[in-house]
Structures are given as C-alpha cells and as structure tokens.
Amino acid sequence: MVERGPEKAGVGGSIPSLATIVLNQASRELLSSNNFFFVGDRVRVGSGLTNLKSLIPILTTIPEIRKLLTQGSRFSSLSVDSFSHVPLTGYAVTSILRGESTGGFVLMSKRKDLRKSRPAALPKAPTGIQGLDDITEGGLPLGRPTLICGCAGSGKTLFAIEFLVRGALDYKQPGVFMAFEETSEELAQNVASLGFNLKDLTAQKKMIVDFVRIERSEIRETGEYDLEGLFVRLGYAIDSIGAKRVVLDSLETLFSGLTNAAILRAELSRLFHWLKAKGVTAIITAERGDGKLTRHGLEEYVSDCVVLLDNRVSNQFATRRVRVVKYRGSRHGTDEYPFLIGEQGISVLPITSVGLTHDAPIERIPSGIPRLDTMLGGKGYYRGSSILVSGTAGTGKTSLSAHLVHATCRRGERSLIFLFEESPSQLLRNMRSIGLDLEPWIRKGLLRLHAARPTLYGLESHLVAMHKLTDEFKPSVVVMDPVTNLSSGGTVTEAKSLLTRLIDYFKTNQITTFFTSLTTGERAEEATDIGISSLMDTWLLVRDLEANGERNRVLYVLKSRGMAHSNQVREFRLTDHGIELVDVYIGPGGVLTGTARLAQQARETSEGIARMAEFNGRKRQLDRNCLALNSQIQALHLDLETAQEELQKIGNQEKLRKAAEAQVRAVMARARYADPLANCAQLMNSNYRKEV
C-alpha cells in the first residue's frame, strides 16, 4: 500500500512530498540480500555499499518504490541517516529511509537545483603579477589578509609594492603601503628600476606610502598593550583615498619588542580581524624563521593565504621561487615556481599554468632549401611548429637554421635568433661563406640577434629575457642555437622545464621555433642530451659518414608530425651558394658519399660510354649485313623477273609456231581438196590432245 500526502510543485512537475511505503516480506528480503539490514526502526546500509550511487539501482528494484518513482519522484542524490548530500545529476533528492516496527518505511522526497544552490566562488583580487594569478586561480583573497614570508633578498617588499602598483594602475584600486623599515624616499628609489613611479601615484592619490618609525627600546610589554594607534593611522590613510589594498612591511619590526606569545597572538588576531572589518585586501610581510615559516611561528595560522618566497643558490646560480603554502577556500598550485625580478617587475612562469589549448595551423612555410621542402611533403614546415635539428659538431645545424631565417625575412616576416655559442658578427661572417648575407635583414629591422652565454645568469633569467624580446620584437620565427648549452646554466631537468614552457609559449603565439641540439659522441645519434625530442613536431638529423679517408654529411627526416615525409637519406653539402641536398649512391658496399660517390659515378659513366660504343659497332655491322641481304634480295628479284620474262617469251613463241602450223595445214588441205569433215575431225582430235 502506498500512502501520499498533499503534492507539492517541484522542478519538473508535482511530486509526492511524503509517502509511507509498507514493504512486504519479499521486499524486505530483497533489501537484506543487498547489504541493507534492519535495526529497530532504521534501515541501515551495510559496508558492502561504499558508493551511494549504487543504492539507486537497488532501491528501484523494490516494487513499492518503483511505483512511487513512476508517479514523479526520482533519485538523483541520496543521503541515508546522516543526511549528507551526494549529487549524482543536476537535481538532488534527499531521502530519509526509516524502518517501522510493522516493516513499513517513510520516503521523504524534495528536489532542488544544485547548480543554483552551489555556493559562490571565493572572490579574489588579481595581483597583476604575471603568472601568479594563474597559480592562485585568480589572485589573492579579496578583503582578506595574505602573509608573504621569506628570507632576506627573496623579494617580499617588491612583491607587495607591485601588488599595490598593479592594483592602482590596472584595476583602479588605490592602496596604502605602511613601511616600518624603509622611508618613502628609499622605497621610491628602490622600485624605480622596475618602472614604478611611486611619487606620481602618490600625487594622483592612487597610493599612500607611510613610514612608521618603531624603536624596540620604546616598546613596553604590558597587559594592556594594543595597536590602537596603528589602527587610527592606517584607518585614516585608507579612508583618505578610498584604499582597497593595504601592505604592512614588516611584522617583525612592528612586534620587535614583544616576547610574550599570548600578547603577540592576540594582537596579530586583532590586526587581521581589523583589516577584514575594513574590507581591504591586505598583504603582510614577515621574515622567515629557523625551521618555521615566520620568526614567531604564529602569523601563518591566522592568515587566510600564505605565500612563501625563497632565494636559494644551486650550482652557483641563485634562483628565486614562490610557493602558495596555504589558501583558505580556494584551490591553488602547490608546487614551487621560479620567478624573476626584472625591468618590468616580477614574472612567475609556472609550467603547470600553461594549458595545451593552442591552435594547430595548417599553413606551411618554406625551409629555404627546396629539396628539403620536397622531403617534407613538398611544402615545408607547419607554421607555429617546433623543429629540432640534432647532430654532432660541424654537421651544419646552424646553416640549416640560417636558411629558414633567410627565407622568412625574404617574405617580409621577422626572425629572432638566440645565440649561446657565437657572437652576432661571427654568425654573420660564417653565413656569408655559404652565400647567405643576413646583415641586410638586420638593417631593415626584420632580424634581431641576441647572444648570451648560458652561464651569464640563471635559466629563469634567460627565460624572462626570451619572453621580453619576443613580446617586443614579435617575430614569426625564433631560432635557439644550441639548446643543449642551456644545461650548463642549471640541471638537465631545469633546462627541459624551461624549454617546455618556451615551446608552449611559442605555440600559443603561433611562432615557428627552430632548435639546434648538439649530440655528443658517446650518446646515440637518435637522442638529445636534454630529452626534448618528444616535444618536437619535426626532427631532422644530420650526421657524418666516414669513408675513403674523408667525412661527408647526410640528412634525413626522423619524424614530422601531421605530414607525409621522405624516409630517404640525402647527402648534405655546404656550397658557396647555400646548402645542397643530393641523392646518395647506394652501391654493393653500402652508401657512398663525397668523392667515393663521384668516383663511382665516373666509373659508371665510363662503363656506359664503353657499352654505348660496343652497341654502336654491333649496330653498324648489322646494318651492313642488312644492306648486303637487301642487295641479294634485289638481285634474286631481277633473276626471277628475267626467268619469268624468258618463260613468257617461250610460251608466246610456241603459240605462234602452233598457229603457223595450223595455218600451213589448212593451206595444204585446201590444196589437196581434202574432206572438210575429215579435216574437222582431225582438228578436234588435235584440240583434244592439246587439252590433255
């Protein structure tokens, strides 16, 4: 029996608001056999049902429940006993299963749209710092304090300053910087190198820089110690310009005279609650302690967001790193991410922030070498692809890249070359030796060369420099020669991480990238020293072949994604008019290149000439034989004609003789007066004998 109370309108139609279902014995046994069991007036779920979603098909097998479902109710989310909500589709049904002493149970159903009831995401204030907003998925918590902690020289103050400057310039949010260590003049001078003009921002009432002098000797711990004076001063600054962002730099100076942990924790809590009450997004800087995030070890517990900055030295290279240690109410990247303080502020380039969402153009661009384009499906490289040329020293990797650059500039597009071994003038001189004059493209503004040793500074500095030059120059082709040298500026893992980020950046901007990789002698030829071959779209391999006392270059396409390409080996020649690719000679002894190929070709040419001479001699002899035979045939034809004429002559003479004899007989017969009949019979016999 099914009993229903009054129906209520819900999403998708009316549904039973209350139904009492009386289970028969068969239904109770079915529930019991599916990990349900009855305890008093409760229907409980056994340990075998770990996923609430699996309850749905079981419950719908109960005839009484299935009948109720056909009348408008359905299970989309289920909570049993604990009333916890587990969404399974767009709507939720909260179900309370209660066993009755008589074996019945009550099903209460209520639908609601989970999408409408989902709590709003935590509001955030974008920092404007490149890459940091990707890590924090939008910025710092809006209207909440964030703790920036780190050792000396890690960039805490600059981090905070940029947060205020970007907020004032990019997001129209005025800010207050309250300093306890540096004066406003010192701060203005320190950040001027980043392009930040604090004096102009202050004059425009977009920022207030307030220096508060605190002497430790003037601080006395008492039970009534508080920060009311600071609150009044800071509150006035906030209200005077309508500030939305606040920076306190730093807590150690503010609480330098306090050693009582209870008082310190209470005042920290008061400070953070006061900032929240003011509705400002605040950054508080703190020095890192010994084995702790901060010196006091308390600030990180009362902060909503904690960002740790670090400046460590590895292999004689200093690298700054940032890590979001804590972020209440929001997801965030938890790894360490290198960052750099450059001419335009802080740059964080996290590898995890780069998504594989870039477009894949189908446009093709020529390589500058026609026969290489033929090997690549007849059209060259894909625009925006990454190309790798690997090989040992002296195989012509840089020359291949120069042909691509030359062809790009000839189309009126820009090219950028990063050199890690040669100076710009050296590259220009070397390329002129093979017929490529790149200097005119530099004068026309179509080519820019940037040379720097990988050991000049850390890898992250190289990365930021490449980003900056690329953003400024906006090339369509970028060459890095050679990428293997980057490993000398850090570990192989760090170099690969840098190149991965660069490749994703270039692909996102549809910039064709050409990498050269130096293969050392002890490694396999079809391998790279920093393991980036899997990231490449096209991989060309150049190598040397030693034979007959000389070395010759060969080239072949190891892979080229998305296009048909040749599997043939081509000899690679550097001439005074550029690179030439010629077919290698495959002989009985293997592949022949260089002078061996030329010698073999000369031998084949000589043998061909000899065979042609022999053929011509035999042909002339046969021609003479044919002429002789033709002469004989003509003579025989003449003999035949003569014989036929003689035969014809004899036949005619015989006819004339017979005709003359007949005529003589006739004359003699008339002279003898012979019987005509007898003459006639005689003539007939004569004709008969003639026919026989």
Q: State the DSSP string of 104-167.
A: EEEEE--EEEHHHHSPPPPPEE----BTHHHHTTSSEETTSEEEEEE-TTS-HHHHHHHHHHHH
Q: What average pLDDT does the segment 409-413 reach?
A: 93
**pLDDT tops 90 at residue 444:** yes
Percent of the chain with pLDDT over 90: 20
Q: What is the pLDDT of residues 317-354, one digit of tens each?
A: 677 888 999 998 888 888 888 887 877 788 786 554 45
Q: Are 241 and 174 in contact (CB under 8 A)?
A: yes
The pLDDT score that the predictor gives to residue 442 is 93
Which residue would you say has higher pLDDT here, 347 or 258?
A: 347
Which residue would you say has higher pLDDT here, 15 or 123?
A: 123
Measured distance CA(414)–CA(447) in Å, rounded: 6
Task: Say which residue the tokens 């608001």 belong to.
Answer: 17
**pLDDT tops 50 at residue 221:** no
Nearest Cα residue to 284 out of 272, 296, 293, 295: 272
* 184-192 helix and 156-170 helix, angle to the nearest 10 degrees: 80
Q: What is the pLDDT of residues 4-18, one digit of tens each?
A: 333 333 333 333 333
Element (H, E) at 629: helix 594-672
**pLDDT tops 70 at residue 209:** yes
Tell me what the pLDDT averaged over the chain comes to.
76
Angle at 150 between CA 147 and CA 151, to 5 degrees: 155
Q: List beta partners, residue 582.
A: 571
Measured distance CA(148)–CA(287) in Å, rounded: 9
Measured distance CA(83)–CA(99) in Å, rounded: 16
Q: What is the pLDDT of residues 622-654, one digit of tens each?
A: 888 898 888 889 888 888 888 888 888 888 888
Instruction: For residue 400, name the pLDDT band (cuts at 50, 70, 90).
Output: very high
Q: What average pLDDT does the segment 568-575 reach?
A: 85
The pLDDT score that the predictor gives to residue 109 is 34
Instruction: For residue 584, name the pLDDT band (cuts at 50, 70, 90).
Output: low
Q: Are 475 and 411 in contact (CB under 8 A)?
A: no
Topology agreement, domain 124-353 and domain 364-583:
yes
**Distances 95 to 17, 82, 106 between C-alpha atoms, Å:** 11, 10, 9
Instruction: For residue 20, name the pLDDT band (cuts at 50, 70, 90).
Output: very low
As a residue count, the chain comes to: 692
Range in 80-94, 277-291, 546-560, 575-589 with the lowest mean pLDDT? 80-94
Range in 19-23, 116-120, 366-370, 582-586 with the lowest mean pLDDT? 19-23
Range in 150-159, 222-231, 562-571 with the lowest mean pLDDT? 222-231
Pairing of strands 381-382, 364-365: antiparallel
Residue 75 structure tokens: 């299970």
Range in 20-29, 373-382, 495-504 with the lowest mean pLDDT? 20-29
Residue 16 structure tokens: 């039973």
Measured distance CA(366)–CA(512) in Å, rounded: 11
The pLDDT score that the predictor gives to residue 335 is 81
Q: What residue spans define the domains of the chain?
A: 2-117, 124-353, 364-583, 596-689
Q: Is 171 exposed, middle or buried (0-12, 13-18, 19+ CB in 10 A)?
A: middle
The pLDDT score that the predictor gives to residue 391 is 87
**pLDDT tops 60 at residue 377:** yes
In DSSP notation, 52-88 reads: GGGHHHHHTTSHHHHHHHTTT---SB---SS----B-
Which residue would you say has higher pLDDT here, 288 or 368?
A: 368
Task: Say which residue the tokens 């380039």 belong to.
Answer: 349
Which residue would you say has higher pLDDT here, 180 or 586?
A: 180
Domain 124-353 fold: Rossmann fold (3.40.50)
The pLDDT score that the predictor gives to residue 589 is 57
The pLDDT score that the predictor gives to residue 352 is 46
Measured distance CA(569)–CA(400) in Å, rounded: 16
Angle at 400 between CA 398 and CA 404, to 5 degrees: 110
The pLDDT score that the predictor gives to residue 498 is 79
The domain over range 364-583 is classified in CATH as 3.40.50.300: yes
**pLDDT tops 90 at residue 244:** yes
Q: Are 87 and 45 in contact (CB under 8 A)?
A: no
Range in 224-238, 387-401, 623-637 with the lowest mean pLDDT? 224-238
DSSP 8-state code for residue 584: P
In DSSP notation, 519-555 reads: PPTTS-TT--TT--GGG-SEEEEEEEEEETTEEEEEE
Task: Calculate the CA 418 to chain-centre distance.
Answer: 21
Q: For the chain, what is the largest distance between any 2 Cα atoms, rounded to a whole number of angstroms?
A: 197
Range in 99-103, 419-423, 471-475 with the lowest mean pLDDT? 99-103
**pLDDT tops 90 at residue 663:** no
The pLDDT score that the predictor gives to residue 2 is 31
pTM above 0.85, yes or no: no
Q: What is the pLDDT of residues 44-89, one digit of tens each?
A: 544 444 444 455 566 666 665 665 555 444 433 333 333 233 332 3
The pLDDT score that the predictor gives to residue 92 is 28
Q: What average pLDDT does the segment 158-173 reach?
A: 91
**pLDDT tops 60 at residue 517:** yes
Q: Are 507 and 355 in contact (CB under 8 A)?
A: no
Q: What average pLDDT does the segment 574-600 reach?
A: 72
Measured distance CA(156)–CA(339) in Å, rounded: 12
